[in-house]
Structure 1
Amino acid sequence: MINEEYKIWKKNAPFLYDLAITHELDWPSLTVQWLPQKEVSQQGDINIHKLILGTHTSDQADEYLMIAKARLPNEDVEVNVSSYNQNNTQPGGIGNAAGENRIEIEIKMAHEGEVNRAVYNPSKTNVIATRTVSGEVHLFDYTKHPTKPENNTPRPDMRLQGLKGDGYGLAWNVKNENIIGSVGYDNKICIWDIEDKQLGENHTLQPLNTIEYHKKNVEDIKFHVYHPEVFATCGDDKLVCIWDRRESMKQPKFNVNAHFGEIYSLDFSPFNEYLFLTGSEDQTIGFWDMRNPSKRIHTFEGHQDHVLKVEFSPYNVGIFSSTSADRRVIIWDISKCGAEIQNEDEQDGPAEMLFIHGGHRSKVNDFSWNQKDNLVCASVEENNILQIWQMAQNIYDDEDDEPLRNQLGQNKA
């Protein structure tokens, strides 16, 4: 069934994508994030991007935090889609007319256990934080590490302690480059100030704040885009908690029993200080306003399994993504909520469902929006696969949909 769906996807891919590249990694990655830098080749036809990846070998091999280089076609250069070869998917695909697309691992840093999550510091993009299986958060300045480790002994630049055991939630403060938070399956929330000079042996650092409020696993943490002292957490107790570090850390500013199932992910809007999203085990996505958190604005339905991650587009107002255990990534358009569906489109889902990426054959572990190339995305799945893709322009560039075209054309400054 899954392989048949994949064959259908490959057959239709040239009509659905302006860019679609499948690359097989040596091991699965639980994490992916575009770094914000972009270079242009001397010929001007290739954009060179970098991605953060990690390994998950299930103790079968050494683990690594990795920086990958991706060579993608310049969107201003015309590509002949007819050159797409359905049978060649690694590397290659749509947008690979000249055979110039390559994904290669540029830097490997030895890591203690699998890399559950890896995120760069928005203010110091060479500094990457990783969530380990032991509970520690490790910091790496990848510019100070060799391209390949001299031996396989992990050498993080800093070890942030306070959590125990597994966990995935990890986030930098968008406004304060020294503040980072993580959560875990010990039901705790920890916040650190990496400028704290009280380092222990082996460059260890204790948390600035430790919070024990959630009654079950804490799954995710995000800092507010506009207010540096505000952050949110969510967990298996079905709660979303909004915290303010200027107030008591014993109780959240407010909490919401937000879903019927465990809550795995949340995200604040980069364009509106009041709006946020939640993704849940109950297969739905909640859309919320902090001014009235007791009432959900809208429920997005379309996934057939747990929603594992939600993420607003960094440049398009009202556009966000969701990833799921159902092997799908869905791109949503909030402005379409409540719109009438034409009869011929009924089978495609609700009006707000802009695009379904169906190229994965196993659970989608993570997703990232590219901040330099509009609507270019990266996603990783359990079966060692990294995909880089961009939906076809004709899908959103509809003459009858002027507001959407304007919105998708507006890049965030």
Structure 2
Amino acid sequence: MAIIRSLIQDMRSRSQRVVVEEDAAAAVVVGDGLRQSCWANMPQELLREVLLRIEASEEKWPARKSVVACAGVCRSWREITKDIVKKPEFSSKLTFPISVKQPGPRENLLQCFISRNRTTQTYYLYLNLTSALCDDGKFLLAARKCRRPTCTDYIISLHADDMSRGSNAYVGKLRSNFLGTKFTIYDGQPPHAGAKITKSRSTRLVNLKQVSPKVPTGNYPIAHISYELNVLGSRGPRRMHCVMDSIPTSAIEPGGVAPTQTEFSLNNVDMFPPFPFFRSKSSRAENSLSGPLADKKDGTLVLKNKSPRWHEQLQCWCLNFHGRVTVASVKNFQLVASAENGPAGPEHDKIILQFGKIGKDLFTMDYRYPISAFQAFAICLSSFDTKIACE
């Protein structure tokens, strides 16, 4: 056991040198050193057994940084660790940065929360580390609001402080129309083979720092969100529809599969990026795809907000958030799969995403398969935007 502890300590120190290194030339030197590490010469059978035990013992953050450290030792360690660590769909765990682009767990809601900074117009997504509504949290994503004359953009990044569209940390963005009633979610990478890029000024800016010659970073529309116009002026709950362009309707059925990204496009694919994904809140702030494609014959998944009921005693609209929401707000919602194109089944009763207020600038965000943390975060950001014609 002492040997394993010594091994993990050595791996952490080596991994940290890779994670915090910002100079490209120095990073390459460090990477070469890791590939030549003495740990790379361990017998594959013994190495796999050690990594299996580490993966099984480090179940939650911040302890799971040991698993990330193992993947940063060298190429062979990384490949075995990636093979051992299961996707969030099956493990309900977010381990590597790519986890935020992969569908959530099938059997339960993954609990997260969003912190809002009104002064800087920024939003931070954290993974709940405990059953409490808000804890120290594990940083996942950040977004910055950018107002424009005809629309509003929310730039989403893997880095808490670097939210530029030309950065390797750029994940995607959310764009609204002038009224704040229609939104489009753009992915920085193609969500599936054959995805078409949307040409825009922001796309050209991103391509100035293209992260891979094989897969250009740009704007790939993956979802459209619309809020129903409130022409009567009634003070009822918001009504929203989310058309998930990259997810087929069959994904919510038993055995259904949603497209899953497995790697980011990076300048150096042999190393993990210098993203603060590996830090907790207390310490801050070639693309590969798997899964079936959304066939044109198989319609795209449509999510709609679950209809609340009117509570006579409280004199307000109510939804059951099972203790995850404590403050009444027009922003609160629960999304379920729409059954407009066919008979409703039990899969249409499952809550896929719920979002609600727990404090002045704190909100819970719980999601599940077939959407990812990135998609869920973008949908929730649309609720923050001012809606002139909806309320």
User: What TM-score, normalized to structure 1?
Assistant: 0.24
- Structure number with the higher helix fraction is 2
- Structure number with the higher strand fraction is 1
Q: Which has the higher contact order (CA 8 A, sep 6+)?
A: 2
